[in-house]
Amino acid sequence: MQGLMQDWPLTVDKILDHAKAWHGGREIVSRSVEGPIVRTTYAEVYERAKRVSNALLGLGILPGDRVATLAWNTARHVEAWYGIMGMGAICHTLNPRLFAEQLVYIINHADDRIILTDLTFLPILASIRDQIPGVKHIIVLADEAHLGDSLPGALAYETLVANASADIAWGGFDENTAAGLCYTSGTTGNPKGVLYSHRSNFLHTLVTMGSDVLGIKATDTVLPVVPMFHANAWGLAFSAPAVGAKLVMPGPKLDGASVHELLETEGVTFSAAVPTVWQMLLTHLRTSKGTLSTLKRVVIGGSAVPEAIVRGFRDEYGVDVTHAWGMTETSPLGTQATPNHAIAQMGDEQQLQFKLKQGRAPLGIQLKLVDDEDKLLPHDGETFGRLKVSGPFVVGEYFKSEGGNILDAEGYFDTGDVATIDEHGVMQITDRAKDVIKSGGEWISSIEIENIAAGHPKAELAAVIGVAHPKWDERPLLLVKLMAGESAAKDEFLQFLDGKIAKWWMPDDVVFVDEIPLGATGKIDKKLIRERMKDYVLPASSPATSGTAALAAPPEPKIYAPEPPVAVVEDDAWLNWTLDAAQAVDRSHPTQPAAVDQAEAPADAQGPFPAK
Q: Is 170 a catalytic residue?
A: no
Buried b (16+ CB within 10 A) or exposed e, 127-151: eebeebeebebbbbbbeeeebeeeb
Q: How far apart are CA 157 and CA 143, in angstroms?
A: 6
Sign of CA dihedral 36, 41, 46, 51: negative
Catalytically annotated residue among 443, 486, 515, 591: 443
Long-range contact pairs involving 396-401 (C-beta distance under 8 Å, separation at least 24): 398/192, 398/193, 398/194, 398/195, 399/109, 399/110, 399/181, 399/192, 399/193, 399/194, 399/195, 400/109, 400/193
Catalytically annotated residue among 329, 448, 450, 570: 329
Q: Is 375 a catalytic residue?
A: no
Residues whose CB is less than 8 angstroms from the CB of residue 532 and which lie 6 or more positions away in sequence, other chains included: 557, 559, 605, 609
Sign of CA dihedral 302, 303, 304, 310: negative
**Helix, strand or coil, per DSSP, at residue 185:** coil
Give the up-direction half-sphere exposure of residue 569: CA atoms within 13 A in the CB hemisphere.
18
Name the β-bridge partners of 359. 427
Q: How far apart are CA 37 and CA 553, in angstroms?
A: 54
Name the β-bridge partners of 28. 40, 247
Sign of CA dihedral 326, 329, 330, 331: positive
Cβ atoms of 479 and 485 within 8 Å: the answer is: no
The C-alpha angle with vertex 374 and arms to 372 and 376, in degrees rounded to 5, equals 110
Query: Which among 70, 34, 76 has a CA at the least distance from the CA of 52?
Result: 76
Q: How far apart are CA 368 and CA 427, in angstroms?
A: 10
Strand 178-183 and strand 193-197: the pairing is: antiparallel
Q: How far apart are CA 135 and CA 261, in angstroms?
A: 38
Catalytically annotated residue among 184, 276, 420, 430: 184
Q: How far apart are CA 508 and CA 591, in angstroms?
A: 10
What region does 251 belong to: left with phi over 0, alpha with psi -120 to 50, or beta? left
Q: How far apart are CA 252 and CA 231, in angstroms?
A: 18
**Helix, strand or coil, per DSSP, at residue 60:** coil
Q: Is 329 a catalytic residue?
A: yes
Catalytically annotated residue among 438, 471, 531, 545: 438
Cβ atoms of 27 and 112 within 8 Å: the answer is: no
Q: Do you find a cis peptide bond into 590, omega within 30 degrees of 0? A: no
Give the up-direction half-sphere exposure of residue 355: CA atoms within 13 A in the CB hemisphere.
23
CA Rg, the chain, in Å? 24
Q: Is 443 a catalytic residue?
A: yes
Buried b (16+ CB within 10 A) or exposed e, 450-469: bbbbbbbeebbbbbbbbbeb
Hey, which residues are catalytic here? 184, 329, 438, 443
